[in-house]
Amino acid sequence: MAVTPSRIASDGNGSIRRAAEVIFHFSMIAPPVLALRSGLHLGYLDSLRGLSALYVAACHAYLMYATDFASMGVRSASGALLVGTSWVMFGRAAVAVFIVLSGYCLMLPIVRSPGQEWRVAFWPFMRRRAWRILPPYYGALACSAALIVLVPALDDPSIREWHKSFPAFGTGSVVSHLLLVHNYFPAYQYAIDHPLWSIATEWQIYFLFPLLLWIGKRRGDFSIVVTAGAITMALNLYLLNFSPQHNPWPAQFVGLFGFGMACAAWSFPNGSSAPLDAQRWRRQAIVLLVAGAVASVVFISTRQQQLPDLLIGGGIGCAMVFLTNAVLTGSRPVALRVLERPSLVALGRFSYSLYLLHAPLLALFYLLARYLNLTPLALQLFILFVGLPITVAVCYVFHLVFERPFIRRRDAMSSSIAGSGISERVTVA
């Protein structure tokens, strides 16, 4: 017999209790997606960011000595180790992952906001971005500059990858870094701390976020990809014709940022709790990735860096859609179980600090290895398995001083974003 308000009133407290039990029963068997949405934390995004930062650090460690030992054959232990670790030399791909993650994470609060209004106030948005990005950036800039002054031996051309940071000082170099426009000047792009070129690039891409969001609201989420792709093509044509010797703004990063935004929208279609049509989306993703792979093979002789960046970034974007869908539906694929390991999530919490400061610290360990007069094999082992872990630990201390206090303050300032149900640690890069 149905439980109605009149029957509850007539049957007394016993019926009220039975009605409460029925309500409680159905609340407990509600779909897991609905239960997750009120406090969703996508920890795997932190892990992706942490692994990408660690990969970049390993890449820069490897490139410091790779040229010196390249002539050694694989029959020697040193040569075999060099070849066996050569898979870490593609650090540029990890930067593409960062860009896709940034677009995805910044879009998540928008697509999960009540009513999916798809709007953001420009200046408050840029103020939150500045509070998140700039204090650690300026801290790393100061620390790197201090190390260069205190350890003159760092200005050594034999420290291959690191020496791109020189000449480090000069009015133009300092001013352009403070204004985050150093990527526009060939003489300053890699000065002081060479990985910081990408921070300027990402900061400038943030200015496009409100525009892409506005277009997506008016024309649909796929229009974000189309617009970002059009900007990518226009920038690429401009660079090829007017700046062929210098690339201040990797044009493909705009497209990857827009693709990351669209992937967030596809993860939560129309703000619905229902999972996406995984089978249909899988077919679309396969077509996209196969097309990217074919393009990479066809144009590999042109040495266009855009193609591998777009392929890797596109693959990561598709993977995030599937992994978020797995979280929403309560499934536990192997990839998600691995990426939700607490150690990897914790690494992601200070990945930005690791990216900012690893280069000068690894250069110090290279100098120490040479001072110890280590053999080629011992030098590689020392840098990869002593220098790199200690660098990660020092960067965590840097995070505690220059990054975490500003995250906490920013969280208090951005209660409207935090109220969307996703932790700010995940929603920002």
Shared-domain flag, residues 1 and 92: no
> In the structure encoding, which two tokens stand for residue 163, read together?
């020496």
Shared-domain flag, residues 74 and 97: yes
Best CA proximity match to 311, nearest among 324, 323, 298? 298
Per-residue pLDDT, 130:
93
Shared-domain flag, residues 158 and 73: yes
Per-residue pLDDT, 8:
38
Residues 6+ apart with CB under 8 A from 17: none
pLDDT in tens, the chain (429 residues): 444 444 434 444 454 344 334 333 323 333 333 333 445 778 999 999 999 999 999 999 999 988 888 777 777 888 888 888 888 888 888 999 999 999 999 999 888 876 667 778 889 999 999 999 999 999 999 999 999 999 999 999 988 889 999 998 989 999 999 999 998 888 899 999 999 999 999 999 999 999 999 998 888 888 888 888 888 888 877 777 776 666 666 778 888 999 999 999 888 876 544 455 555 566 656 666 666 566 555 545 445 556 677 788 888 998 998 899 888 888 889 999 999 999 999 999 999 999 999 999 999 999 999 999 998 899 999 999 999 999 999 999 999 999 999 887 665 555 444 343 333 333 334
What number of other Cβ atoms are within 10 A of residue 17's Cβ?
12
Shared-domain flag, residues 271 and 326: yes
Q: Are 231 and 249 in contact (CB under 8 A)?
A: no
> In the structure encoding, which two tokens stand for residue 217, read together?
């609201």
The H-or-E segment that residue 188 falls in is none
Interatomic CA distance for residues 383 and 360, integer angstroms: 13
Shared-domain flag, residues 14 and 74: no
> Which amino acid, residue 274?
A
In a domain, 35, yes or no: no
> What is the domain count for the chain?
2
Per-residue pLDDT, 3:
42
Specify the pTM.
Answer: 0.81
Shared-domain flag, residues 79 and 12: no
Residue 421, classed as helix, strand or coil, is coil
Shared-domain flag, residues 146 and 186: yes
Residues 6+ apart with CB under 8 A from 293: 311
Shared-domain flag, residues 97 and 1: no
Q: Which domain holds residue 117?
A: 40-427
Q: Are 116 and 271 in contact (CB under 8 A)?
A: yes
Q: At CA 359, angle to CA 377 and CA 176, rounded to 5?
A: 155
Best CA proximity match to 428, nearest among 329, 269, 413? 413
Per-residue pLDDT, 422:
36
Shared-domain flag, residues 63 and 109: yes
Shared-domain flag, residues 208 and 182: yes
Shared-domain flag, residues 118 and 199: yes
Q: Within 13 Å and on the Cβ side, how many CA atoms surround 187?
A: 9
